[in-house]
Structure 1
Amino acid sequence: MVFKESETVELKSVVVDDIKKEIIAFANCEGGKLYIGVQDDGTVIGLDDPDGAALQVSNMVRDAIKPDLTMFLHYETLNEDGKQIIAVDIQQGTERPYYIAKKGLRPEGVYVRQGYSSVPATNTAIRRMIKETDGDHFEDMRSLNQELTFEAAKKQFAKKDLPLGEAQMKTLGIMTHDGVYTNLGLLLSDQCVHTIKVAAFEGTTQSQFKDRKEFSGSLFQQMDEVYDYIDFRNQIHSSFQKLYRIDQRDYPETAVREALLNLLIHREYSYRASSFVSLYADRIEFTSIGGLLSGVTLNDVMMGISVCRNVKLANIFYRLELIEAYGTGMRKIREAYAETEKKPDIETSENAFKIILPNLNVQTETKKTVVNKPAEEDQEEMILSLAKKQGTFTRKDVQEELGISQSTSGRLLKKMIGNGQIIQEGKGRNTHYRISE
């Protein structure tokens, strides 16, 4: 047999530590063969103890490479010119990327085959391999950062007398069965890269800041710190009915809690953009990244129908009794305002979801606006008039023209489309409307 190095063949005269890089590179690419006992130029020098060499490689693979690669390797002793060599057949693994355990899922730990050499993989290549083997579901994908700690999470679990050891982490999906942390683990770890930005404004617009802060760390830490930040500013106002004093906070605590939990559990963590909490004089807005899941409408959400984006994260919050069940949050928010004249609102887009909680203690012109708001028939006439004037129009045009919310304008436009008064053209941000011909 003629031995020559190629993209799928590597020659080694003896077992050296660098062999694991070659094995990892083959497993991360198209597979390959490693011959031990053969020099780089193809000269066969043989091995004195081929069985011992095979065992040495096998132990190296088992102890130094993650995830487990042993089932993708086949060892064979060959006799070449009266000399014994080891042939290691490495197949492409199904849990790529494979990496040196001590180095982690970083370029210095992950290798790929490039020409006749094994070289460090780029971060882009590492992410691509993770996506190819783990799928698109963010929670289950392996975290690029494997140096994670869970102090905040352990404190949260301890409040409910629940352990959070390796066995529990594997059961919950924080860690794979091979001991590799997932993105779910990253979210709950103290090293979580996703943050919540909170800003308090003077008045009802963003023209002037009162205060701003960014909260980081484990989602549990963010949950507690953001709630405390809001709670500190959730003032109590008193009124009197005859001889009795009635205390009322600006925002129902239940509504604040449920809106914050919704922000944490249902956001799209595939994006690195922060979530936002904005405090105005007359309202709080909770804005999370990621619109409604495909097939789910705003009416579905208001009815309590929930299709969870982060199922395992929601399950952990459920186990910790932070949520009762899927789909109950919006109902609780509405119930918190049930005995008041003001109502919470929801706005959605393709990439964002916003919950708006009105301040119960602010006296605004809202009542006058509601009393003088045109009847629905008059609103339709105003929309038709707008269409005649502009030719085409957007939902935002309707909101500004009629002074109504995004959800109300959406409902009104949907009704007019159903009645054949107008037609919709375009999709997403390019959506616009015109009068039916």
Structure 2
Amino acid sequence: MKMKESPTLQFKRELTDAIKREIIAFANTQGGELYIGVDDDGSIIGLENADKVLESVSSMLHDSIQPDILVHAFLEIVNLEGKNVVKISVARGTRRPYHLKAKGMKPSGVFIRYGTSVTNASEENIRQMIIESDGTNFETMRSLQQELTFTEAKRIFDEQNLKFGPEKMRTLGLITEDGYYTNLGLLFSDQCEHTIKCARYLGNDKIEFQDRKEFSGSILKQVEAVYEYLSINNAKHAHFEGLKRIETETYPSYALREALINAFTHRDYSFSGSILIHLFQDRLELVSVGGLVKGLTLEDIELGISQSRNPKLANVLYRLKWIESYGTGLQRMRESYKGSVMEPYWTVGPNAFVVTLPKYISLTPTDENEALSNWLAQSKEFTARDLENYLKKSKATVRKILEELIQSGQIMRVGSGPKTKYQVLSNYE
């Protein structure tokens, strides 16, 4: 009985380039067997020089297909009806999608089987194969885009006297062990597909624009350019305390920088949306795609517990000295607002994290009572130095305020000497 072609069985009369497509399709689908020297109808033709064909097939698979498919293929010469044919057994690969080396992981180079036919894979097919092979960790997955350049990233690494060659990129996770660029590599490349969008408004709502900008390219270049744009729009103000000139910014530079870097370090890059920055007349909002990392609460991160969604990205930024590894960003953002009527705050949605930076407005004597009330409402325990920094008052003035608060039953003193602290009483809270 003649053999018949099926989804897992294919025949070829002779060795041709089309065999590469068949082998790739088997490895990307459910595996199969291919016989060279057998006609389409199952008739055994045989090969005059099966050894040479076997050698040619081995070279073809090694030189023309990526990743290495030979580990999933078994080549042998078998005798059918007294004639030699080459049998190629292909298992379903573990590093799908397999593709033509010359074409890359594009639909034109990736093939799958539908029944007994071979067809080009769609981008969605390819993306699904990557997920099945690499897992769902965005950073370590192979990028669909493999034609990448790193002009801007290299410039920034050079400025920090850090190496940025292939070996370092492999160590940082931008390149896999078998030479593919990862999604992390895509973020740092000049071809990065994610952007940051900024908009300035005439009022405190989104009705009327002053200007809009979209920043693209390497994510490192984007952050540099966005910070420069925000700095240009971060006006400085001055007032005098006696003969001393005191300068303040509309938004404290530390808070501005920290909010921006947090937005792109911790966003969820599996979403295609852009980071959004809105500059209103009374505040600045940074909207990062992706809510909190699973398992963390807003209270956790306010206490300094840090768990990055993108640890490899965070590691690179730590090496560049753009971030610290202590998880104190939100706390220090608030500290940069000491002496201001308003403080920064954050809002968490299922798929978004919004940081709001209000304009820095220095406390005046008429604001003091309100500021003190806000402080007591927000602070469970504090030191005299904390209150001095917040109110920007002298030790003597703060000592007097503390005694008045104790007498009125709003706080109580705990401890003595340098370790003295003050607790807000629950009946006041």
Q: TM-score range with shorter-chain normalisation?
A: 0.7 to 0.9
Query: What's the counterpart of residue 124 of structure 2?
Result: 124
Q: Is 1:135 the equivalent of 2:135?
A: yes
Judge conservation of contact 1:50–1:84 (CA < 8 Å) in 2: yes
TM-superposed deviation, 1:243: 1.4
Aligned ranges 1:8-157 → 2 under 5 Å: 8-157=8-157
Secondary structure of the 1:61 match is helix
Query: What's the counterpart of residue 428 of structure 1?
Result: none
Query: What's the counterpart of residue 311 of structure 2?
Result: 311
Q: Distance in 2 between matches of 1:373 and 1:328?
A: 25
TM-superposed deviation, 1:9: 0.9
Judge conservation of contact 2:339–2:362 (CA < 8 Å) in 1: no
Aligned ranges 1:296-307 → 2 under 5 Å: 296-307=296-307
Q: CA offsets, 1:334-369, max 9 Å, x none?
A: 2212343431111111111011112114899x9599
Q: Distance in 1 between matches of 2:21 and 2:141?
A: 23
Q: Distance in 2 between matches of 1:2 and 1:312?
A: 56
Aligned ranges 1:373-412 → 2 under 5 Å: none
Q: Distance in 2 between matches of 1:333 and 1:271?
A: 27
In the alignment, structure 2 segments of 5+ residues that lack a partner are 378-429
Judge conservation of contact 2:286–2:355 (CA < 8 Å) in 1: yes
Secondary structure of the 1:234 match is coil
Q: CA offsets, 1:280-304, max 9 Å, x none?
A: 1221111101111222111111111
TM-superposed deviation, 1:221: 1.0
Greater Cα radius of gyration, structure 1 or 2:
2
Query: What's the counterpart of residue 338 of structure 1?
Result: 338
Q: CA distance change for structure 1 residues 367 and 241 in 2, over 3 Å: closer, same or farther?
A: closer
Q: Distance in 2 between matches of 1:369 and 1:338?
A: 15
* Equivalences, count: 376
Judge conservation of contact 1:134–1:142 (CA < 8 Å) in 2: yes
Query: What's the counterpart of residue 279 of structure 1?
Result: 279
Q: Distance in 2 between matches of 1:160 and 1:372?
A: 44
Query: What's the counterpart of residue 203 of structure 1?
Result: 203
Judge conservation of contact 1:140–1:182 (CA < 8 Å) in 2: yes
Q: What amino acid is the match of 1:285?
A: E
Q: CA distance change for structure 1 residues 369 and 276 in 2, over 3 Å: closer, same or farther?
A: farther
Q: What amino acid is the match of 2:94?
A: T
Q: Is 1:166 the equivalent of 2:196?
A: no
Judge conservation of contact 2:258–2:329 (CA < 8 Å) in 1: yes
Q: Which moved more, 1:273-282 or 1:165-174?
A: 165-174
Judge conservation of contact 1:237–1:361 (CA < 8 Å) in 2: no
Query: What's the counterpart of residue 324 of structure 1?
Result: 324
Judge conservation of contact 2:285–2:356 (CA < 8 Å) in 1: yes
Secondary structure of the 1:138 match is coil
Q: Which moved more, 1:337-346 or 1:236-245?
A: 337-346
Q: Which moved more, 1:43-52 or 1:74-83?
A: 43-52
TM-superposed deviation, 1:205: 1.8
Judge conservation of contact 2:363–2:371 (CA < 8 Å) in 1: no
Secondary structure of the 1:139 match is coil
Q: Distance in 2 between matches of 1:176 and 1:50?
A: 37
Judge conservation of contact 1:282–1:362 (CA < 8 Å) in 2: no
Secondary structure of the 2:139 match is helix
Q: CA distance change for structure 1 residues 241 and 39 in 2, over 3 Å: closer, same or farther?
A: same
- Give the superposed CA RMSD: 2.4
Judge conservation of contact 1:8–1:26 (CA < 8 Å) in 2: yes
TM-superposed deviation, 1:203: 2.5
Q: Which moved more, 1:199-208 or 1:314-323?
A: 199-208
In the alignment, structure 1 segments of 5+ residues that lack a partner are 378-437
Q: What amino acid is the match of 2:49?
A: D
Q: Distance in 1 between matches of 2:141 and 2:350?
A: 24
Q: CA distance change for structure 1 residues 367 and 85 in 2, over 3 Å: closer, same or farther?
A: farther
Q: Distance in 2 between matches of 1:268 and 1:331?
A: 22
Q: Distance in 2 between matches of 1:201 and 1:108?
A: 45
**Alignment TM-score, normalising by the size of structure 1:** 0.81
Q: Is 1:225 the equivalent of 2:225?
A: yes
**Alignment TM-score, normalising by the size of structure 2:** 0.83
